[in-house]
Amino acid sequence: MNPLNIVTLLGGFIYLLLGADLLVRGAVALARRARVPPIVVALTVVALGTSLPEMVVSLQAAVIGYPGIALGNVVGSNIANVLLVGGVAGIIFPLAHPGGSIRRDTVMMMGATLTFVFFCLVQGINRVTGIAFLVGLVVVMIPTVKDAMKAHYESEGMAPMERVLGLPAHRPVIFVFLLVGLLWLPLGARMVVNAAVAIAVEVGMPEAVVGLTIIAFSTSLPELATTVVAARRKETQVAIGTLVGSNIFNILAITGVAATVAPSGIAVPRLFPYLDLPVMLGAAIFITLLAWTGRNLGRKAGIVLSGGYLVYIGAVFLLS
Confidence tier at 105 by pLDDT (50, 70, 90): confident
- Please answer whether residues 35 and 158 qualify as being in contact, where contact means their C-beta atoms are separated by less than 8 angstroms: yes
Which of 62-71, 285-294, 306-315 comes out lowest in average pLDDT? 62-71
Q: What is the pLDDT of residues 159-176, one digit of tens each?
A: 333 333 356 778 888 889
**pLDDT value at residue 46:** 61
Q: Where are the alpha helices (DSSP H) in 35-157?
A: 38-41, 47-63, 67-80, 87-92, 102-118, 127-154
Superfamily of segment(s) 39-154+189-319: NCX, central ion-binding region (1.20.1420.30)
Q: What percent of the chain has pLDDT over 70?
A: 78
**pLDDT at 87 > cutoff 60:** yes
Q: What is the pLDDT of residues 21-42, one digit of tens each?
A: 787 778 778 777 766 665 566 5
**pLDDT value at residue 304:** 92
Q: What are the extents of the domains in the chain?
A: 39-154+189-319
**pLDDT value at residue 162:** 35
Q: What is the pLDDT of residues 228-255, one digit of tens each?
A: 777 777 766 666 777 888 899 889 988 9
**pLDDT value at residue 159:** 35
Beta bridge partners of 297: 95
In order of 75, 145, 164, 168, 181, the CA distances from 25 in angstroms are 29, 21, 9, 7, 9
Chain mean position to CA 92: 18
How big is the chain by its Cα radius of gyration, in Å? 19
